[in-house]
């Protein structure tokens, strides 16, 4: 397996709080890796480190770029996006007053070039690029099944649609690595089934996915491999079946004593 | 339904009203005073469109906009007095000078958010006034800069008789209208572009914008510089039109007034900025007369502006024209897309085809 992302002893401290302590694992190209753990385990913090929102306090993030593995710690979010790392948010963060289409068009930013002068003169280059942006955006919207809502305001979408719009927006940045932060949170069973299909369709296009999710049925059904965090430390890693039996994991979720109960 | 019909009716009358207003200087018996107020309204429209970029498009409270207006005005005034440069050369120079100071101020301070940024911009505009007041060797301080030559248009290289001086109200009115049209054109094009979308993304959610690949600081600085350049252009016209400048024309009140216009019109709406400017300039003139008649000093009108802000926040927090990213909706690309959606092109594509039974 070729690694896409290698985390080496990542730590993140907020003042005296160790949100992450020496977390290391590797993500292979093309896999769906589940990242699980109780609330406050540091899963979202880890996503923030990888996506550049909060650079890690120590440790190394290696990413397989064009010239082999490179260290990407401390790069800014937009640089991470340009490298091909996209994410969604646990608490949905759409551009609510803008249309569904605009939300996705904004995500084409890092793959397009028209500047101030070209925008004012509306040059042939700029018009062609705008056309391409709309087409690329519509392609992602069709992919997640929101094309017919393209001109609606994002804030007016149903909850499940908003989650899928976030995914479409992330996909429009042409990611190689997609970080999904609890995409099924608040979804009904039908919406969740659609989401599972969507994630599998995304992976089928060659995108690697790291998935934070509390819905264990969902995680167990689509991830071949899981990493478990608890109190900022990496406590287990392996296939779902092994994780389910792992005493440290059971203890993390249910408390000490639960293992023998 | 009644309201909508009335809006449609008003929209049909809009071009007529526009033509009437634009031909006003040609009417027999056109008042010099009214023409002056209309020109002033046009100047404020330029300023309001320029300011709109920062709080409207990017969502950053800018309380120091008048600083750039002042920089543009004094740049134009000094270049005219000392070097006798043509207005047409000065406009781009003043805009560049404004953009330069915008970028110099913005680059270090746009990392600040919310109130902190507002305080820095406020400080900046006070600094500009202090500079204009105290650097007497350059600006003559409180004495002001009198005798700035009016605008000329020298086309004598085309025809020996084509040398025009913009004396009187009508030529300046049309020049200001041209300036408004030019800035409006640029603003609508920017709004419906990659740049404009990046700005709106920053306004809506900076964090998500960064994760979409927008370099937030860079685009804020660009916004600030363009906004400053437009403010400086407004100042440049104002200097050559009024032919006199003094530091107290660029006090904080002016920033607040322009901000009121933008908020009244609707933050982030270009048409709103135009309407807001027209309303508040006319209201200002009415109040100046009205307050004098009841024996109050004309400065009391700022209380009226404050009251308007309060009422807007209470009853119509998004302003008269709340829509943002409005220019984009008229783009032929979107019109085509909207037709395809209406025709049901994407109806069979709701993702249900991937819906598998559990």
If you search the block for the tokens 């807007």, which residue do you land on? Answer: B312
The mean per-residue pLDDT over the stretch A134-153 comes to: 92
Q: What is the pLDDT of residues B267-290, one digit of tens each?
A: 989 999 999 999 999 998 888 888
Structure confidence at residue B32 as a pLDDT band (50, 70, 90): confident
Q: Do A134 and B211 touch (CB under 8 A)?
A: no
Looking at this predicted complex, what is its ipTM?
A: 0.91
Is A39 inside a domain boundary?
yes
**Chain B residue numbers touching A92 (CB-CB < 8 A):** none
Q: Could you report the per-residue pLDDT of A173-199, keeping only the tens digit for each?
A: 999 999 999 999 888 889 999 999 999
Confirm whether A251 is domain-assigned.
yes
Give yes or no: residues A201 and A131 share one domain.
Answer: no
- Put simply, the answer to whether B208 touches A94 (Cβ < 8 Å) is yes
Residue A195 forms part of a structural domain? yes
Tokens describing residue A54: 């909060």
Structural contact between residues B196 and B58, judged by C-beta atoms closer than 8 angstroms? no
Provide the pLDDT for residue A181: 94
From B349's Cα to the closest Cα of chain A, the distance in A is 6
Kindly tell me if the per-residue pLDDT of A259 is higher than 70: no
* Residue that terminates a domain, selected from A152, A174, A196: A174
User: Is A89 among the domain residues?
Assistant: no
The whole-number pLDDT of residue B355 equals 42
pLDDT of residue B287: 87
Residues A182 and A255 in one domain: yes
Q: CA B47, B48, B52: angle at the middle one, nearest 5?
A: 120
Condensed to tens digits (0 to 9), the pLDDT of residues B338-352 reads 888 888 777 765 554
Residues A105 and A232 in one domain: no
Q: Is A162 part of a structural domain of the chain?
A: yes
- State whether A74 and A153 are in the same domain: no
Last residue of a domain, one of A174, A197, A223: A174
pLDDT exceeds cutoff 80 at A66: no
Of residues B24 and A169, which shows the higher confidence score? A169
Confidence band, pLDDT 50/70/90 cuts, at residue B3 = low
Q: Looking at beta carbons, which pairs linking B142-147 to residues 24 or more positions away fall under 8 Å?
A: B142/B246, B142/B247, B142/B248, B143/B246, B144/B244, B144/B245, B144/B246, B144/B247, B145/B74, B145/B77, B145/B78, B145/B81, B145/B239, B145/B244, B145/B245, B145/B246, B146/B243, B146/B244, B147/B81, B147/B243, B147/B244
Residues A195, A249 share a domain: yes
Is A24 inside any structural domain? yes
- Which of A158, A174, A190 terminates a domain? The answer is A174
Contact residues on chain B for A173, CB-CB shorter than 8 A: 212-213
Residues spanned by the domain of A121: 95-174
**How many domains does chain A divide into?**
2
Question: Quick one: A47 and A100 in the same domain?
Answer: no
CB interface of A with B, residues 163-222, below 8 Å: 164, 169, 173, 189-190, 193-194, 197-198, 201
- Looking at the fold, whether A183 and A159 belong to one and the same domain comes out as no
Task: Specify whether A182 is located in the same domain as A168.
Answer: no
Contact status of B221 with chain A (Cβ, < 8 Å): no
B159 versus A126: which is more confidently predicted? A126
Task: List, for residues B200-241, the tens digit of each pLDDT value.
Answer: 999 999 999 999 999 999 999 999 999 999 999 999 999 989
Is the predicted pLDDT of residue B325 greater than 90, yes or no?
no
User: Between B163 and B219, where is the model more confident?
Assistant: B219
Q: Say what percent of chain B tops pLDDT 90.
A: 47
| A184 & A131 share domain | no
Is A137 in the same domain as A77?
Answer: no
In a domain, A15, yes or no: yes
Q: Of the given ranges (A65-69, A71-75, B87-91), which has the lowest mean pLDDT?
A: A65-69
**What pLDDT was estimated at residue B317?**
86
Q: Cα–Cα distance between B311 and A157 in angstroms, integer? A: 31
Q: Which two tokens stand for residue B158?
A: 């085309």
CB contact under 8 A, B354 and A201: yes
Q: What percent of chain A has pLDDT over 90?
A: 72
Same domain, A160 and A204: no
pLDDT band at B2; cut points 50, 70, 90: low
């Amino acid at each position: 397996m070729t690694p896409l992302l290698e985390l080496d002893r990542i730590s993140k401290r907020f003042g005296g709080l160790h949100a992450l302590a020496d977390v290391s694992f590797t993500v292979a190209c093309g896999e769906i890796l589940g990242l699980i753990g109780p609330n406050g385990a540091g899963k979202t913090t880890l996503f923030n480190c990888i996506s550049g929102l909060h650079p890690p306090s120590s440790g190394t993030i290696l990413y397989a770029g064009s010239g082999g593995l490179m260290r990407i710690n401390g790069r800014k979010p937009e640089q991470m996006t340009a490298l091909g790392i996209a994410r969604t948010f646990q608490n949905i963060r759409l551009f609510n007053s803008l249309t569904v289409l605009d939300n996705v068009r904004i995500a084409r930013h890092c793959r397009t070039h028209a500047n101030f002068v070209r925008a004012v003169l509306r040059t042939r280059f700029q018009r062609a690029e705008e056309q391409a942006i709309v087409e690329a955006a519509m392609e992602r919207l069709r992919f997640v099944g929101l094309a017919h809502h393209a001109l609606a305001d994002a804030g007016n979408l149903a909850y499940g649609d908003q989650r899928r719009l976030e995914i479409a927006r992330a996909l429009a940045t042409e990611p190689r690595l997609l970080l999904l932060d609890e995409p099924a949170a608040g979804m009904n069973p039908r919406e969740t089934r659609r989401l599972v299909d969507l994630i599998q369709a995304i992976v089928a296009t060659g995108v690697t996915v790291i998935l934070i999710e509390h819905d264990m049925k969902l995680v167990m059904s689509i991830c071949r491999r899981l990493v478990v965090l608890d109190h900022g430390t990496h406590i287990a890693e392996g296939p779902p079946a092994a994780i389910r039996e792992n005493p440290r994991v059971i203890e993390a979720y249910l408390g000490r004593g639960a293992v023998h109960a | 339904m009644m309201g909508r019909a009335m809006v449609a009716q008003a929209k049909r009358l809009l071009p007529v009203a526009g033509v009437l207003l634009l031909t006003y200087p040609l009417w027999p018996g056109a008042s010099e005073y009214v023409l002056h107020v209309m020109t002033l309204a046009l100047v404020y429209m330029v300023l309001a469109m320029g300011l709109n970029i920062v709080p409207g498009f990017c969502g950053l409270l800018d309380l120091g906009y008048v600083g750039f207006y002042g920089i543009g005005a004094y740049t134009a005034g000094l270049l005219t007095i000392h070097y006798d440069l043509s207005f047409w050369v000065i406009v781009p120079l003043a805009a560049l000078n404004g953009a330069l100071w915008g970028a110099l101020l913005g680059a270090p301070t746009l990392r600040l958010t919310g109130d902190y940024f507002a305080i820095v911009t406020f400080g900046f505009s006070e600094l500009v006034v202090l500079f204009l007041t105290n650097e007497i060797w350059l600006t003559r301080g409180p004495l002001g800069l009198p005798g700035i030559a009016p605008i000329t248009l020298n086309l004598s290289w085309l025809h020996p008789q084509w040398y025009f001086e913009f004396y009187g109200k009508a030529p300046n009115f049309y020049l200001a209208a041209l300036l408004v049209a030019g800035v409006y054109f640029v603003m609508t094009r920017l709004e419906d572009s990659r740049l404009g979308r990046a700005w709106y993304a920053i306004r809506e959610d900076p964090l998500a914008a960064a994760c979409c690949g927008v370099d937030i600081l860079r685009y804020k600085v660009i916004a600030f510089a363009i906004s400053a350049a437009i403010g400086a252009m407004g100042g440049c016209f104002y200097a050559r039109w009024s032919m006199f400048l003094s530091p107290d024309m660029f006090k904080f009140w002016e920033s607040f007034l322009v901000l009121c216009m933008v908020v009244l019109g609707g933050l982030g709406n270009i048409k709103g900025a135009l309407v807001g400017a027209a309303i508040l300039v006319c209201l200002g003139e009415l109040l100046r007369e009205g307050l004098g008649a009841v024996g109050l000093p004309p400065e009391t009108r700022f209380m009226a502006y404050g009251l308007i802000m309060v009422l807007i926040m209470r009853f119509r927090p998004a302003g008269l024209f709340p829509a943002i990213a409005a220019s984009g909706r008229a783009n032929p690309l979107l019109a085509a897309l909207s037709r395809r959606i209406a025709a049901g092109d994407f109806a069979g594509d709701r993702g249900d085809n991937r819906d598998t039974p559990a």
